[in-house]
Amino acid sequence: MKEVLGQWDGKVISKDLSLPSSLNGVSLEWRSLTPALMDSSGHLRTEADDKRQEVRFLADASVKEQKESVLVTMQIASRQELSAIEQIDLIVNGLKDGAYTDPLQVVLPQTTEDGREILWQKDKGVSPVWWLLLLLLLPLSAVLKQDQDLNHSVRQRKSRMQAEYPEMISELVILMGSGLPFAAAWQRLAGDYQKQKAVDKIERPLYEEVKRSSGLLQSGMTLKEALDDFALRVPVKEIRRFTTLMIQNQKRGDQFLLVRLNELSNEVTQARKKQIQEQSEQADTKLLLPMTIMLIVVILIVMTPALMTMQL
């Protein structure tokens, strides 16, 4: 039996062993007599020392009816015999196994095999100051995000009102041109919107304010008060100008209001055309750079074969 295990006896080791369960037809069962250094599965539980450390196993060998326990002695390589990487692997294994009760027991390698110095630094982790700053910044960022979303909603609402304004003026001109006084035309505008909304389920912010203003009229508020409330709730300069004109010219009669509305409608239409033209020009300017790049690419594609032919 000793001859079978001869290759293991006296072996110098520096890492975990894969202890065989059988060898040359002999069944083996390993028992560590130095479990603090290496357990019965061959797992190394300590780091290298300045001198070799002896590891002893009792190998229970059996073949057929014959059984024998054989003492196998191995040596853990000294620190000088191991590379820095091998030493670190042993230390990591020892830490995982809880082999060290005192951090001072851990001896880290100071140089590599070729004599280069190894510098070790303590992992400081994340400073508590950073965690404090993070805790302060999180609610601040949430507030800023909420404020940004609110500003975006306000700008979007204002933009939609500006887009709906020319249509509202045109409808008022048509309604008053058919003989309705301004107050009745205003309420009719709100009623038509309410019916349309019930069908297409689309909410239009400017017409929502017209509907609110019409409701105030029906509840007994004067036309001036209702228009003042409308102007306060609509943050668009052009629409506030419309309400100012309507309030200032109420006493001059509906015919005069109709004339002013026609003038205002023409102004709004021209302003809208100008705005669309400016937006179109801006779009053309934005497309100029990509088109220029595409032109250069096309020229290169066309000219490359010709240049290659000339070189040949």
Q: Which residue has the tokens 């304004």?
A: 165
d(CA 163, CA 176): 22
> Is the pTM here over 0.75, yes or no?
no
Give pLDDT, residue 80.
64
**Segments making up each domain of the chain, as ranges:** 12-105, 148-297
Q: Which residue has the tokens 């053309």?
A: 284
Q: Tokens for 267?
A: 């102004």
Q: Which amino acid is located at 192 in the chain?
A: D
Element (H, E) at 69: strand 66-76
Element (H, E) at 22: strand 22-23
Model confidence over 116-142: pLDDT tens digits?
666 656 666 667 777 788 888 888 888
Tell me the backbone φ, ψ of residue 136, rounded to 5 degrees.
-75, -35
Q: Tokens for 310?
A: 């000339």
Model confidence over 69-78: pLDDT tens digits?
888 888 887 7
Give pLDDT, residue 114.
60
d(CA 108, CA 47): 10
Report the alpha-carbon angle 134-138-142, nearest 5.
165
Q: How many CA atoms lie within 13 A of 20 on its CB side?
A: 11
Report the alpha-carbon angle 229-231-237, nearest 5.
165
Tell me the backbone φ, ψ of residue 87, rounded to 5 degrees.
-65, -45
CB atoms within 10 A of CB 85: 11
3-state secondary structure of 38: strand
Q: Tokens for 294?
A: 């595409």
> If you average pLDDT over every residue of the chain, what do you get?
80
